[in-house]
Chain A
Amino acid sequence: MAKPKVAFYWCASCGGCGEAVVDLADKILDVVAAVDIVFWPIALDFKYKDVEAMEDGSIAVSFINGAVRTEEQKEIAELLRRKSGLVVAFGSCSSLGGIPALANLTSKKKIFDRSYLNSPTVVNPDGIVPKTKSIYDGYELTLPEFYETVYKLDDVIDVDYYLPGCPPTPDLIANAVNAILEGKLPPKGAILSPDKSLCNSCDRNESKPEDVAIAEIKRVIDIELDPEKCFLAQGIICMGPATRDGCGASCINGNMPCTGCFGPTDSCKDQGAKMIGTLGAIIEGEEEEAIDKVIEGAVDPAGTFYRYGMSASLLGSARKEEEDE
């Protein structure tokens, strides 16, 4: 029997998810042995036209990582969707928007102005910015459109499963691949990691008191981090409570707080909003002045609470027009 065909693709991505597959280490040999990789831009030399030539649905599963920022990414995502039985959103960016989606707090114009015109080291006297169509030397050149907004994968195609994480851990990947190969998958739309707070498996949870009160929000550079104590109890914002379990708490074990890459549990609509509500309520102080003082320590709430989940959030992105004060 032919081995199932598998494809990997990266959209707006740092490459870490591709690394994660490679990081399966010895497990990767099992994977490679079990499947037939037909498309993997980071590692193998297959072309788009190779994919276009395949029969619809002939790829058993496509793992697509990265957020969707350009027209090309959308097109290839749609192509792979047509050609695949299953599509798995691989990693935080494709599941939630990820780090690239923080760009939603600014605008395409601002990004272009900065990158191509105003950056201190740019020399661009003619003010040339990328265009979808331009004429050069008599030839018409096209570039994929750079969208106004960073999307997550399921904004542009139908997604069957989500592997969360920045990047997903080797265990999670191996489990997912095995589940697919064995046909033992949960209902469509499932996120392939436990539906519980990270606190559930965090070693430091015992040290969290039953009356946490944050008197001052500290950043990881402000204090010497206690390697055994719950971060919230130290005044450090840890996204663990609002983040799915399943990563093995690797950041915590590295003495750094969770930043939320696995996204929210199924019962939450908006990870950042939830964390704002949770953290807000445990701020110490009854008077407005005292409360305001503590909140001064949250220097970039949007970036902190929506670090990975901007595209998945209820607001999605900042308003593009400026509002008067």
Chain B
Amino acid sequence: MNNFEPKIVAFTCNWCSYAGADKAGMMKLKYSADVKLIRVMCTGRVDTQFVMTAFREGADGVMILGCHPGDCHYRTGNVKALKRYKLLKKTLVQFGINDKRLKLDWVAAGEAELFQKVVNEMAETVKELGPLHLTGNVEQGGK
């Protein structure tokens, strides 16, 4: 039996996915406690350095959840997030990090069940993949 409890950080945007998470809360939809949210105003704010820092600090999985394309509160922030994510994913694979550990998805403010589904699926996926255990310079600290 897999006792591993993954650590997952989800960057959620104030207007869509964070609101969707709030709605999931109001509807008492249960999801994995392993997923912890960080609120940003827009997924366009999510710096690639944030994702890498999360992995370095111990996250086994990272999510970026934004508004559906066309619905971004700031017009196009979510599309920028998508593009960065695509390039980042390709890079992470070269770092030996299974690209399932980084997930970008779209969750609207009203989509409470979708939020629950998406985060639970991620928790399952990462649980199966096991702990990330980054090696290399991470332990040394570095600059």
Contact = CB atoms under 8 A, between A and B. Distances in A.
Contacts of A301: 87, 90-91, 94
B26 to A, nearest CB: 31
A133 interface: no
Given A280-B80, A281-B83, A323 B98 contact: yes
Given A155-B140, A276-B48, A319-B133, A314 B53 contact: yes
B40 interface: no
B135 interface: yes
B61 to A, nearest CB: 12
Interface of B: 44, 47-49, 51-53, 55-56, 69, 79-80, 82-88, 90-91, 94-98, 129, 132-138, 140-143
A168 interface: no
Contacts of A288: 82, 86
Measured as residues with beta carbon below 8 angstroms from the partner, the interface class of chain A is 35 or more
Interface string A273-302: 110110111010110100110010010111
Nearest to A217: B87
B101 to A, nearest CB: 9
Given A302-B91, A313-B137, 12 more contacts: A105-B94, A149-B140, A270-B48, A273-B88, A274-B48, A286-B69, A291-B86, A300-B94, A315-B55, A315-B138, A318-B94, A319-B133
Interface in A302-325: 302-303, 305, 311-325
Contact of B90 (A149, A295, A311): A295
A114 interface: no
A88 to B, nearest CB: 15
Contacts of A281: 44, 80, 83-84
A229 B26 CA distance: 55
Contacts of A315: 52, 55-56, 95, 97, 134, 136, 138
A272 B96 contact: no
B136 A104 contact: yes
Interface of A: 104-105, 148-149, 151-152, 154-155, 268-270, 272-274, 276-277, 279-281, 283, 285-286, 288, 291-292, 295, 298, 300-303, 305, 311-325
A75 B61 CA distance: 38
A269 B135 contact: no
A155 B94 contact: no
